[in-house]
Amino acid sequence: MKPQSDGRSVLLPINDSGSSISCLRSLGKRGVHTIAVSEHRDRPALASRYCDETAIVPSPYEDLLAYKDALLSLAERPDVYTIVPHREVDSYVLGKYRDQFEEHVVALWPSFEQVRTVHDRLRQAEAAREAGIAIPETYSFDEVDDWSRELIVKPRYSILTPDYVDSLSEDECEGKMEVIYTAAGTEPDLEAIQETMHKSGRHVPDHVPIVQELVRDTRTEYGFRGLYDEGKSVLTCQKRQIRGKSYAGGASVYRETMYDPEIEEMGRAMLDHLDWHGLASVQFLKEPDTGEYKFTEINPRVWASIEMDVIAGADFPHAHWLLATGEPDRIETEYEVGAGNHLLFGEFQYLWSILRKRYPAIEPPAFRTAVWEVLSSCYDQPHFDYLHLDDPGPFIHGVLNQLPIGGRSGTEMAGQ
């Protein structure tokens, strides 16, 4: 561990969501030197006034080991004090090579065993059962013999690496994969799913997805977010997702802070059972008929909607820094219930999904009603992931990235 000194820096491997910008703003405003790490030069976060330094590294999806080596080289700098993981691949790399990184920085992130458990949805489900938490019925795809029910198909692993499937080489990594909704009474084709589940279009035959019973209300997701220190809770907050990027749910585009003692109990039980270390977001859905919460997944990293927590007073980026630098007593643990914020581009995606997409067993809301709800919530809660008047660069850069003249047609502002 490095001795405390002036000019200490934090390494932020940024992603496409507003969470990167929130972390930069939170830490930069407090004088912490921020180093944003990315394989792309056009990320909106790099345009923030609070981004003090940029480091361009190889893409982990093109060469996983080269990415690890580049991140480790930055960690070896004497001014770099800790690293905040933003992506699944960051949690994987930092967990697997923890012994190499902790020679140089404070390793405030989960171990590889913890990461491996939460990256594997079958192991996640087993851990939840052991912790006494209700989950949707969960099976490996090849174990399902009754497709007459309403089911959804999910990737078994959050990302694919050689530790999870044998068909990948040591330097290969496959990124985010999408959930597939199936019609009751129709058995989907496993090989076709394997070919479409991965963004690269690559067929990974040894990645057998999981199947879960459909929780009828997939639109309202609940989250327990926590910062833990070797199994001990340091800071927590709760989220209720009002809208996702589609009317069926998905990545959060409008959310509010909340408090429910039942979610508190289940979230703590899950992270306590895993003896957690670092940041995590525990997700739940609620059965509309019974009111029962059911565990769905854990994200072992910064979550996309962390701006909401910061607005409410649960400043996880700053708390992470204070804990890493030995000042946990300065962490403020109270937060405001009912504070909300939006991913503005995601709101447009939500409305577009109502017009253009259909999901089995999930009815879309009336379009006019949806438009009114979006506009009224923006008026009531005028807080946004990207759009800050004192730091307009990320929003402007993100808008340009969506235009043909911007030279990039990704999902920069979509919270991916």
DSSP state of 187: P
| Percent of the chain whose predicted confidence (pLDDT) is above 70 | 93
Which of 120, 131, 73 is closest to 92 using CA atoms?
A: 120
pLDDT digits (tens, 9 = 90+) for 89-114: 999 999 999 999 999 999 999 999 99
Count, residues in the chain: 416
Going by pLDDT thresholds of 50, 70 and 90, the confidence category of residue 136 is very high
Domains and CATH numbers, the chain: 9-117 (3.40.50.20), 137-213 (no CATH), 221-406 (3.30.470.20)
pLDDT digits (tens, 9 = 90+) for 121-131: 999 999 999 99
Give the mean pLDDT of 35-62. Answer: 95
Going by pLDDT thresholds of 50, 70 and 90, the confidence category of residue 405 is low
For 69-154, strand residue ranges (E) read 80-83, 138-140, 151-154
pTM of the model: 0.90
Which of 155, 161, 85, 83 is closest to 116 using CA atoms?
A: 161
The interaxial angle of helices 112-119 and 88-96, nearest 10 deg, is: 140
Q: Name 61's Cβ contacts closer than 8 Å, sequence gap at least 6.
A: 89, 173, 174, 175, 200
Kind of pairing, strands 221-229 and 232-246? antiparallel
Cα–Cα–Cα angle for 354, 360, 366, nearest 5°? Answer: 30
pLDDT score for 392: 86
CA distances to 15, 89, 92 from 85, in Å: 10, 8, 9
pLDDT digits (tens, 9 = 90+) for 254-309: 999 999 999 999 999 999 999 999 999 999 999 888 889 999 999 999 999 999 99
Integer Cα distance of 86 and 254 in angstroms: 20
Cα–Cα–Cα angle for 5, 236, 88, nearest 5°? Answer: 75
**What dihedral angle (degrees, nearest 10) is formed by the CA atoms of 366, 368, 374, 380?**
-120
Tokens read off for 159: 């990302």
